[in-house]
Structure 1
Amino acid sequence: MKATHPYDVLEVLHDHDYLKKPLTGREQLQATQMELDFLEEISKELKSEQFFLQRFQGEPEMIMFYSGFKDYNTLKAFNLALQPTAETIGRWSHVLNLNNTEENAMNAGFDVQHLCLLDQLFLFLCSVRWGFVPVDMSERFHVSQAIVRATCITWCQYLFFMLGTLPIWPSRQAVDELMPLFFRTTFPKTRVVLDLTRIHIQTAACTGNSSDYRGTTTLKSLVGISPSGAVSFVSNVFTASLSDKGIIKEYGIMNLLEPGDEVMASKSLDIKDLLDAIGVNLVIPTFLRPKGQLDVDDVTHTQDVVHLRIHMERAIRRTKEYHIFDDAVPSGLCGSVNQLWTVCALLTNFQVPLL
């Protein structure tokens, strides 16, 4: 029910009274109280229409739906751990042009009217989680589309810097301690499961020696998942013209592996020669023998690998659950696609554990 302004009530009380007497002290107090009640009712109505995070504070399923975090307290704790402030989060357009002058340093802070830092983070998470376009987010958060774009790019860069400094590659001891039972009983030496993931971006603002397909550019990224299901490695994105072996050889994961480790991968990722050279075993489903048959041991081995790959596919799929990658990343985010992919991959480590 829409609130009725107290002045409207007073006008009714004094209808056609052209010689209004001054209000008594009691009447003035009553009118003031009615004004406060009216403003409180209006405030409640406005809050009920806002899409800000506080609206969902008591609805963990909605927090999970929109952000990927299990509840309000977890998301708030994540925000506090980052220690973001309007001074430390520089507006990306300003950061790009930043020099050492005091004036530019003072103007580099990123502050959005009507949006606190926690709501800025929520806006970014909603945008990447569900691929909401700027016009949609503009209506939801009551800010301009320009602010939506600036907020998304700025938080993408900030989270890339903050999360990118976290040591996500676990030691051999840590892998062993967290290894699930079904890994320990089948492939106990597994260090990482590797997957080459392809993403697409709109080609309007992008150039490069990458494959073009139906107006999009294909990029590839190497993602590593530990046996426990956490993302333990994520590479930059590369153009499709670079071979799979080239990505694995050049990006640095070979330097992280140790002799005696096992790497699980799909049959399409033929890197056995690279791993053999450093004393690491490649675990893949067994190829068919020349007669098209597998012996009992091969069948058992393949079934074990497939079973574990299904588990790992769930972990890899978590990154793809950020629906901004569903079709093609908008060309406006082309310059930040590497950071965007990395951030979304690392954010999965803050979700509810797979096991």
Structure 2
Amino acid sequence: RQCRQAEIGESAEPETNESILTDTEPVVENEVADEEHNYMQSYSSLVLDIKELEKQIAYLQTEMATLQSQKHPLTVANVIDNEQKMLMYPSLKPQMFRIIDSTLQRFPLVYVDSWTPSAFSRTDQLFMTLMKLKLNCPFLDLAERFCTSKATIHNIIITHVFALHEVFFEGMMENNILSLLKCKASMPAIFGDFNCCRLVIDATEVTQDVPGQDMTAQSQTYSSYKNRHTVKSVTGVAPNGAVVYVSKLYPGSTSDVAIVKHSNMLAKLSPGDMILADKEFTIHSLLPQGIHLNIPPFLKDKGQYTPAEVQVCRKIARSRIHAERVNERIKYFEILSHIPQQFRHISTKIFQVCAMLVNFQNPMIADIANNYSFDL
């Protein structure tokens, strides 16, 4: 009996183990299948995501190539933080450009072509106008730089020349010669022998196109000094180097004395004032009472100057040279290198605007520059 029970026990044990394996085996197979299904599902989703990203990359590459092929217009924002570029394009430091821009924007603009170019801000319009004055870029060149048409450039530039002239020249500079008291307050040391000087005057000429078929106009604009057709202006500079007077442009054959007489500039002076000038300004008979003129002495029939006359000539030349330096700065504006036919009707305004802009540049006299500081 015991042996029989042992046989039964031995035979029962495998049955128990087999039943256990039989019960658990399907569970293991289901788990493995689920894991394989999850893996396949995640792999498929990743493949779809990769394909979607590849499509986005291809689209962005196409868009980037399109944008790179397109021209980007020049704006003042591209150069406003670079002082060298600002001096190259509008000839002004950034802070001075901002002053002109903020002042001009206080006034409405009436465009000469009767339509408003809305594609550009007024700051960029001022920028392209100053570029035209400084570099004299052709309208087509500016149209390419700013990605617009020649008609738009013409509309903007002519309008802003009128606006700059009205606001800054007529409104601030014209008929506002510094008083003798203000001149003495900022008198450089080089004017020590002329402490009553209020104005240093000089004449300058600008070439222009031959004025059509009008022979009278051609003879009037022909300058024997320049041997070409020119227009002439008389500029007045205060002792501190500021441009305080600019006459209209006259035909090149007009004498300096005739310009002073016709412009009526002497009426703006007061008794006790002194004028420094070159020999061509023999305007003694035009001077109002109490106003003095100091010009270099004439040699006349003498063989040479006396030592005292040589000293007078040197002193006048050292002081009067600032007017010549101002005229040189005015001519740095390339638009004045030669006035074409299309600008003849506004040539005076262009010249006076360029002269006005000189006052926004750095002082040219060392004594004034050393005391000059600007914080925006």
Q: TM-score, normalised by structure 2?
A: 0.74
Once residues 78 and 227 of structure 2 are traced to their aligned partners in structure 1, the CA distance between those partners, rounded to angstroms, is 39
Shift of 1:243: 3.8
The residue that corresponds to 1:142 in the other structure is 147
Q: Residue 290 and residue 310 in structure 1: after superposition, are their counterparts in 2 closer, same or farther (change >3 A)?
A: same
2:189 to 170, 181, 184: 181
1:231 maps to a residue whose letter is V
Shift of 1:191: 0.7
Once residues 197 and 270 of structure 1 are traced to their aligned partners in structure 2, the CA distance between those partners, rounded to angstroms, is 16
Q: Residue 295 and residue 78 in structure 1: after superposition, are their counterparts in 2 closer, same or farther (change >3 A)?
A: same
Shift of 1:252: 2.4
Once residues 155 and 123 of structure 1 are traced to their aligned partners in structure 2, the CA distance between those partners, rounded to angstroms, is 10
1:68 maps to a residue whose letter is S
Q: Does 1:64 align with 2:71?
A: no
SS in 1 for 2:359: helix
Q: Residue 93 and residue 250 in structure 1: after superposition, are their counterparts in 2 closer, same or farther (change >3 A)?
A: same
Q: Note the alpha carbon deviations across 1:181-235, whole angstroms, 9 max, x for none.
A: 111x121111111112222221366956322479964222121111111110111
Shift of 1:242: 4.1
2:329 to 318, 325, 340: 318
Shift of 1:347: 1.0
The residue that corresponds to 1:285 in the other structure is 296
- Asked if 2 retains the 8 angstrom alpha-carbon contact of 1:231 and 1:345, the reply is yes
1:346 maps to a residue whose letter is M
2:303 maps to a residue whose letter is G
Q: Note the alpha carbon deviations across 1:17-55, whole angstroms, 9 max, x for none.
A: xxxx9x9689768966986798689768968x5432111
Once residues 206 and 70 of structure 1 are traced to their aligned partners in structure 2, the CA distance between those partners, rounded to angstroms, is 43
- Asked if 2 retains the 8 angstrom alpha-carbon contact of 1:206 and 1:334, the reply is no
The residue that corresponds to 1:93 in the other structure is 113
- Asked if 2 retains the 8 angstrom alpha-carbon contact of 1:265 and 1:284, the reply is yes
SS in 2 for 1:218: strand
The residue that corresponds to 1:331 in the other structure is 341
- Which structure's CA Rg is the greater one? 2
Q: Does 1:344 align with 2:354?
A: yes
Shift of 1:84: 5.2
SS in 1 for 2:271: coil
Q: Does 1:166 align with 2:172?
A: yes
Q: Residue 42 and residue 308 in structure 1: after superposition, are their counterparts in 2 closer, same or farther (change >3 A)?
A: farther
Shift of 1:290: 2.7
- Asked if 2 retains the 8 angstrom alpha-carbon contact of 1:112 and 1:147, the reply is no
Once residues 307 and 290 of structure 1 are traced to their aligned partners in structure 2, the CA distance between those partners, rounded to angstroms, is 26
Once residues 289 and 40 of structure 1 are traced to their aligned partners in structure 2, the CA distance between those partners, rounded to angstroms, is 77
Q: Residue 239 and residue 33 in structure 1: after superposition, are their counterparts in 2 closer, same or farther (change >3 A)?
A: same
Q: Does 1:190 align with 2:197?
A: yes
Q: List runs of 5+ in structure 1 lacking aligned partners.
A: 1-20, 95-106
Once residues 266 and 86 of structure 2 are traced to their aligned partners in structure 1, the CA distance between those partners, rounded to angstroms, is 38
Q: Does 1:123 align with 2:128?
A: yes
Q: Residue 27 and residue 149 in structure 1: after superposition, are their counterparts in 2 closer, same or farther (change >3 A)?
A: same
- Asked if 1 retains the 8 angstrom alpha-carbon contact of 2:180 and 2:196, the reply is no
The residue that corresponds to 1:234 in the other structure is 246
Q: Residue 255 and residue 122 in structure 1: after superposition, are their counterparts in 2 closer, same or farther (change >3 A)?
A: same
1:79 to 76, 81, 101: 101
SS in 2 for 1:198: strand
Once residues 60 and 138 of structure 1 are traced to their aligned partners in structure 2, the CA distance between those partners, rounded to angstroms, is 24
SS in 2 for 1:150: helix
Query: Which stretch shows the higher mean deviation, 251-260 or 307-316?
Result: 307-316
- Asked if 2 retains the 8 angstrom alpha-carbon contact of 1:202 and 1:215, the reply is no
Once residues 297 and 347 of structure 1 are traced to their aligned partners in structure 2, the CA distance between those partners, rounded to angstroms, is 39
Identity %: 26
Q: TM-score, normalised by structure 1?
A: 0.78
Q: Which has the higher helix share?
A: 2
2:356 maps to a residue whose letter is L
The residue that corresponds to 1:152 in the other structure is 157
1:64 maps to a residue whose letter is L
Q: Residue 117 and residue 297 in structure 1: after superposition, are their counterparts in 2 closer, same or farther (change >3 A)?
A: same
2:113 maps to a residue whose letter is S
2:117 maps to a residue whose letter is D
Q: Note the alpha carbon deviations across 1:49-69, whole angstroms, 9 max, x for none.
A: 543211112210110111111
- Asked if 1 retains the 8 angstrom alpha-carbon contact of 2:200 and 2:276, the reply is yes
2:112 maps to a residue whose letter is W
Once residues 230 and 44 of structure 1 are traced to their aligned partners in structure 2, the CA distance between those partners, rounded to angstroms, is 47
The residue that corresponds to 1:262 in the other structure is 274
Q: Residue 291 and residue 241 in structure 1: after superposition, are their counterparts in 2 closer, same or farther (change >3 A)?
A: closer
- Asked if 2 retains the 8 angstrom alpha-carbon contact of 1:189 and 1:261, the reply is yes
Once residues 134 and 140 of structure 2 are traced to their aligned partners in structure 1, the CA distance between those partners, rounded to angstroms, is 16
- Asked if 1 retains the 8 angstrom alpha-carbon contact of 2:207 and 2:231, the reply is yes
Q: How many residue pairs were aligned? A: 313
